[in-house]
Amino acid sequence: MEMFRSVKFNVGLICVLAFACGVGSFIPQAAESPERVEVFLRAQPFWGGVLEGAGLFNVFRNWWFFSLLALLGFDIALCKCLRLPGLEPQESAEEVAQSIGGRPLRASFMGGVRPAAAAEAIRSLLRASGYSVRQAPGADSDRVALCASRHRLQRWGSFISHSSMVVILAGGLVKLVFGFQGSLAIPEGGQAPVPRRPGWELAMDRFQVEHYQGSGSPKLFASDLRLLDRGRVLAQKLIRVNKPMVIGRLGFYQETWGATGAWRSATLSSPQGDVVLRPGRAQALPGGRGRVSVGELIPDIAIAEDGHAHQASSEPRNPALRVRWEAPGQKPRALWLLRDEPDAAFAEDARGVLSRVPPPFRLAAVDMVLFSGIQFVYDPGYPLIVAGALAWLAGMMLLFYLHGRRLWVLVSPGTGQACRVLMGGWNSQGPVAYRDEFEALTERMREVSS
């Protein structure tokens, strides 16, 4: 047990934990960013295999990380939590006299009244000053020993703070062992099963997105969700960023959004008139310009160096439609039309290479089917972590804002009707911080004893 209580062992344990947390922060983790892990494995197959074999893509859910956290909690409990501050010792009159001699703050003076009267006056003064006072046993009829203390709760500050760290670690372990999280991409009007909750489904009835004028950047996006248990509605809420839907310890958070690649309708515009297209249907163009049908939608089109079209992101930043135009007397042509660049069009050849051409018509509008990215988090350790954090805050406030003070006073007979008063003081912050208060109390004791 002595090894677990040694400073070197605990400093080394904290360093190992800090290093593990650093590794888990710099190396992509499968639980939070599985796509980044896949990219790393493809780019670095050798080192990716080494890191995967060592479990470094899943640091915070590895058995050895659990063991380190449990060992740290055990060490804190062993070193601090099992050593209760206890009650203040019941000192005798002789021990009070010895305590006064060993204190850095000491004072003595002669009083003008008998010891019993002086002791009673000093006792009343200390109580009025916020001290808890008791008389030490073992004194004779002519000598009175007093022990006084203030802010005794300060002694519990360190114990509460260290105990709360054990509670926080326990909450973290409960979360890592029993908690889970993930993401669901749900299209408008669709629903998806909730992992680890048999029979539960999350339905998205409506998705809202608002953009800033000019830049087009999203200002707000929200999802109207319903949580179903075998068809029965458990909860329903319009969630936004930082405004989740929570049932029990399971929370659903608005994480991201984008276009599914599906569409409901598209409007083509030309000098001869407009035409509305539907998926899977060919539509005649006005003015006898032939027929057109739509094949593929790319929400955010980009053209690679080899001339092929690809999707830059799932957000509808630069949507494009691939249309098949059958003009009278001509071979069918594949064209890409861009909604936000009406004066641009790209013809696609048999190899899929794009070349810029004058647009025969333009894409005026497209009604895309959006999806909402919902993050679900189950954290059963959250109450423990919150309770531990509040307890830690309370312990630190006791430790730093309450300054424990102790006074030892010995009143003994002097010459004639006088008495002699000896006193010593101690403060949790040291003698310098207590000197002014100690000297002020000494002067007031001198006054009430004269």
Identify whether residues 266 and 363 lie together within a single domain. yes
Q: Is the pLDDT of residue 82 over 80?
A: no
Identify whether residues 364 and 267 lie together within a single domain. yes
For the stretch 247-290, pLDDT in tens is 988 999 998 888 888 888 999 998 888 899 888 888 888 888 88
Mean pLDDT of all residues in 175-187: 89
> Helix, strand, or coil here: 373?
strand
CA distance 375 to 409: 65
Domain housing 119: 93-151+403-449
Mean pLDDT of all residues in 350-374: 91
| Domain-embedded: residue 115 | yes
Q: Is the pLDDT of residue 92 over 70?
A: yes
Amino acid of residue 82 = L
pLDDT confidence bin for 1, thresholds 50/70/90:
low
The CATH number linked to 130 is 3.30.310
| Domain-embedded: residue 157 | no
Identify whether residues 189 and 251 lie together within a single domain. yes
- The contacts of residue 173 (CB under 8 Å, 6+ apart) are 66, 69, 70, 73, 381
Tokens 């409960």 correspond to 174
Q: Choose the most confident range, by mean pLDDT, from 23-37, 224-238, 300-314.
A: 224-238
Give how many domains the chain has, as a whole number: 4
| Domain-embedded: residue 397 | no
Q: What percent of the chain has pLDDT over 70?
A: 96
Identify whether residues 206 and 270 lie together within a single domain. no
| Domain-embedded: residue 353 | yes
pLDDT confidence bin for 142, thresholds 50/70/90:
confident
The CATH number linked to 388 is 2.60.98
Identify whether residues 243 and 376 lie together within a single domain. yes
Identify whether residues 102 and 174 lie together within a single domain. no
332-336: long-range contacts, CB 8 A cutoff, minimum separation 24: 334/295, 335/359, 335/360, 336/301, 336/309
Identify whether residues 274 and 364 lie together within a single domain. yes
| Domain-embedded: residue 204 | yes
Nearest CA among 349, 279, 370 for reference residue 321: 279
Domain boundary among the residues 52, 81, 110 is at 81
Identify whether residues 176 and 133 lie together within a single domain. no
pTM of this prediction exceeds 0.85: no
Identify whether residues 346 and 198 lie together within a single domain. no
For the stretch 290-323, pLDDT in tens is 899 888 899 999 998 888 999 988 888 889 999 9
Q: Where are the alpha helices (DSSP H) in 179-323?
A: none
| Domain-embedded: residue 160 | no
Identify whether residues 387 and 422 lie together within a single domain. no
Amino acid of residue 372 = S
Domain boundary among the residues 39, 59, 81 is at 81
| Domain-embedded: residue 361 | yes
